[in-house]
Amino acid sequence: MDTATILAGISDAFTLWNLMFIVLGVTVGQIIGAIPGLNILMALAIAIPLTYSLDTLAAIAFLISVNKGGTVGGAVPAILINTPGTPESAATTFDGYPMAQKGQPMKAMKYSLYYSVFGDTWSDIVLITVSAPLALVALKMGPIEILALMVLAFSVITGLVGESMVKGLIAAALGFLVASVGIDPGQGTPRFTFGYLTLYDGLPLTALAVGMLAVCEIFQRLAQQVRGMPAAAAAPTRSADIADRTVTFKELLANKWVAFRAALIGTLIGAIPGLGSATAGFLSYSITKQSAKDPEAFGTGDPRGIAASEAANSAVVGANLIPMLTLGIPGNIAAALLVSALMIHGVQPGPLLFEQQGQLIYGLFGAMLIANLANLGVGQVGMRFWAFVVSAPNTVIYPAALLLCVTGVYISAGGVMGLVVMVGAAILGYVMRLLGLSIIAFIVAFVLAGQLESALLKTMLITGGDYMQILHHPIAMALLVLSVISIIVLGRRRPTLGRKPGAAAAA
């Protein structure tokens, strides 16, 4: 790719319009992340319909900024009320809350902000560095290799998420089935349309994602809501001593190796499809604690604990775009939602993106780096205000979120039919959560089904239906062997006993 395209892309990110949406996205993300019970996925699902009228770069920059802001905001309730605003920040409670209890809540929030921005920036740089060369390699693959790669991706994702690989694969099969509604790509005949012309284009992804990720959660919370549910009481953020409110460079640099290792762990975890920010945070915290000379200091308000959790969970955000941008495979739900947002704007993620939409991609990279700075600026000013958001009553938050979802889907996904699909998806999501079936596997399968079917169709045309032809494609064979190995290794994982089905589904 030529330098002019790269520079043009980066300069696109600096237009006032895009900068405004980046700052808005970061702010919205931080606020939603700070509200216990709402999470980044809900925010992304709700935000997608709002981006329909925006141009592609502004829309994607906004959504990525929401994602980035959410990881920062999630630490606020983790520190102030010992309740992570988002699952990603769960490990931050271990040392963030004790530090707040010691009278240093602002200091703890600033530690989390700075290390979070560091981890995020690190993984963005890795993404920018490795994605173009990886895409070049991916471009050399034909339909047979792509088909084999998708089989590998599914075997890894379903093996890593949820309670067990079998349940993960059942959820994926359900996703394939739901995705087959609409016109078949081979013959152009209708499938499962029940005579409704509106279903010929398939089920609207926006309605499905909003239903499963946001509305399902909102319905469940409203169904559980009981009289007199009090708002959480946040620790006071004011303290007399300035040292308790600020973090010096010296204090930050004291944990530089912890933060660096955490960022590496987060980047690695983020690049593997199926693993998420929460895993990165816990793994990094655990490794940091085990390798410390004084592990007993952890859990008492040690800044290393905050650095380990926040740098790792934020480093996942950039890295999980690596498989999405280079191979077109979303590694988690946030990436799947970004894929859907790109597709809504007529952009198909994958290696061709670098060839055909180079300016957009580098605009996106520029926007990601700007979003990190915006995260720092908005967080620096907003942290004390987000402390009030923590205490907002659920009786306002959930009805408001419901109305926002209903309105957004009505506008963007075909009116009443879109809303019916949204509610249907919410009910399906609820049943899947109760049964411990992974929603990640379902949504990734739904998003990838079109590509998978198209690759299967091309493979059949190339091989003339003779599957032994695959033996002449060594890369495809290697990927299929890897798939079998991953099924054997990950499939032997024991079902997680005692795990709450809802948690498993969201994993």
Partner 1 sequence: MLGRRVVGIGSVGLGVFLLLVGIPMNVTSNGTIIMNPALFPMVAAWLMIGLGAIQIIVGGPELAMPPLSEPVRFAIVAGLTVGAAMLFEPLGYLVVAIGLMVVVIAMIYERRPLWVATTVLAVPVGIWLFFEYLIERPLP
Chain positions 25 to 84 lying near partner 1, rule: CB under 8 A, are 50, 52-53
- For 4-8, the CB contacts below 8 A with 24+ separation are 5/358, 5/359, 5/362, 6/358, 6/362, 7/362, 8/359, 8/362
Residue 393 in the binding site for partner 1 (CB under 8 A): yes
Residue with smaller CB distance to partner 1, 435 or 482 = 435
* DSSP annotation string for 157-208: HHHHSSS-HHHHHHHHHHHHHHHT-EE-TTT--EES-TT-GGGTT-S-HHHH
Return the residue of 174, 297, 347, 373 that touches partner 1, per CB under 8 A.
174
Residue with smaller CB distance to partner 1, 128 or 390 = 390
- CA neighbor of 213 nearest in space, from 454, 13, 401: 401
Residue with smaller CB distance to partner 1, 406 or 470 = 406
CB 151 within 8 A of CB 455: no
CB atoms within 10 A of CB 469: 14
Residue with smaller CB distance to partner 1, 299 or 450 = 450
- 191-210: contacts with partner 1 (CB under 8 A): 191-194
Return the residue of 19, 125, 130, 177 that touches partner 1, per CB under 8 A.
177
- For 427-432, the CB contacts below 8 A with 24+ separation are 427/216, 428/211, 428/212, 429/211, 429/212, 429/213, 429/216, 429/505, 430/216, 430/219, 430/220, 432/171, 432/174, 432/505
x/- mask, partner 1, residues 450-489, rule CB under 8 A, reads: ---x--xx--xx----------------------------
- 210-269: contacts with partner 1 (CB under 8 A): 215, 219-220, 222-228
- 395-414: contacts with partner 1 (CB under 8 A): 395-396, 398-400, 402-404, 406-407, 410-411
Taking contact as CB under 8 A, which single stretch among the options 92-100, 175-183, 280-288, 468-476 is the one that binds partner 1?
A: 175-183
Residue 347 in the binding site for partner 1 (CB under 8 A): no
Residue 419 in the binding site for partner 1 (CB under 8 A): yes
Residue with smaller CB distance to partner 1, 5 or 496 = 496
CB of 144 to partner 1, least distance (A): 15
Return the residue of 169, 235, 283, 440 that touches partner 1, per CB under 8 A.
169
Return the residue of 157, 319, 364, 449 that touches partner 1, per CB under 8 A.
449
CB of 228 to partner 1, least distance (A): 7
Residue with smaller CB distance to partner 1, 155 or 320 = 155
Q: How far apart are the C-alpha atoms of 340 and 331, rounded to whole Å? A: 13
Please work out the total of residues on this chain that contact partner 1, with binding judged by CB under 8 A: 73
- CA neighbor of 333 nearest in space, from 474, 440, 189: 440
Return the residue of 19, 125, 130, 173 that touches partner 1, per CB under 8 A.
173
Alpha helical stretches, state H, 436-473: 439-463
Q: Cα torsion for 418, 422, 428, 432, to the nearest 10°?
A: 130
In sequence order, what are the residues at sequence separation of 6 or more whose Cβ sits closer than 8 angstroms to the Cβ of residue 451? 146, 150, 328
